Amino acid sequence: MTNHPAFSVTDAAAKRIAYILSDEPAGSKFRIAVDGGGCSGFQYKMDIDAKPISSQDIIIEKNGIEVVIDDLSITMLQDSQLDYVEDLSSAGFEINNPNATAKCGCGNSFAL
């Protein structure tokens, strides 16, 4: 359980995570993982759960919130940034991953 400087969270994402977690049971965490699948090979998975932190988890802290990423996923998220974006047609979390060599049209899957 450590901080990992090669992954960052924007102020907008931290604010939105804090808002979401305010309605969740105590001990709930915002988790990010990279799973195999999707049309480009890998896909981002974002969940809220109350599972305990394990020794394989990396904790990213921003403005008092914590984002949990497992140690295998963090290797595919080096130098990436979690953001929360709102515009007239949609709102949601986005991961800006400079390691992705391709991504699908919906932006939820990527290739390395």
Order of strands, sheet of 65-70, starting from the edge strand that comes earlier in the sequence: 57-62, 65-70, 29-36, 42-49, 109-111, 102-103
| Listed ranges 7-11, 85-89, 93-97; the one with the highest mean pLDDT | 7-11
Helix (H, G, I), strand (E, B) or coil at 40: coil
* CATH superfamily to which 7-111 belongs: HesB-like domain (2.60.300.12)
- Average the pLDDT over each of 6-20, 28-42, 57-71, 85-99 and give the range with the smallest value: 28-42
Strands 57-62 and 102-103 come out as unpaired
Q: Residue 6's pLDDT is what?
A: 84
DSSP state of 100: -
Q: Is the pLDDT of residue 108 over 80?
A: no
CA dihedral 95, 98, 101, 104 (to 10 degrees): 20
Q: What is the mean pLDDT of the chain?
A: 86
Residue 1: band (very low, low, confident or very high) from pLDDT cuts 50, 70, 90: very low
